[in-house]
Amino acid sequence: RLRGSRVRLLRGASHTPMIERGTDLAAILRAEAVLAQPTPTRRDYVHDFVPPSDAAVRAAAGALRPLRRLVSPVFFCTDARGHRTPGLASVPAPTREDGSARPLLFVGNHQLFGTTDVPLLV
């Protein structure tokens, strides 16, 4: 259980209570005073980050070795002419030649259950 959390039992609800006609999420939030809770102390996830140990990285890589043999992530991007190319070499720079910012749209394909994404993270 999360520290400071409470369990709210929704009697008669099925496994999808938020889309059922009789569930009023706004009323639940008001009754539980969720929005009146004090704002938690903000954390600096960048400065507080502690990298994993070499042993932890090796253990995770070893655990994922069978999955990496089964699935191997492949990256494709579209170049300026609209041609699909393997790799990430055609991803444009986030700034133009004159230094001005430009928008970039990254689109990812998350596979069933996300299991093929895990090797990308280790």
76-89 pLDDT per residue, tens? 888 888 888 898 88
Which residues are bridge partners to 84 per DSSP? Answer: 78
Which residues are bridge partners to 101 per DSSP? Answer: 95
Q: What tokens does 26 get?
A: 């706004």
pLDDT at 111 over 70: no
pLDDT at 14 over 90: no
pLDDT tens by residue, 52-109: 999 999 999 899 888 878 777 678 888 888 888 898 888 877 888 888 887 777 776 6
Cα–Cα distance, 91 to 80 (Å, whole number): 9
- For the chain, what is the mean pLDDT? 79
> Contact, 90 vs 78, CB < 8 A?
yes
pTM of the predicted model, to two decimals? 0.33
- pLDDT given for residue 109 in this prediction: 63
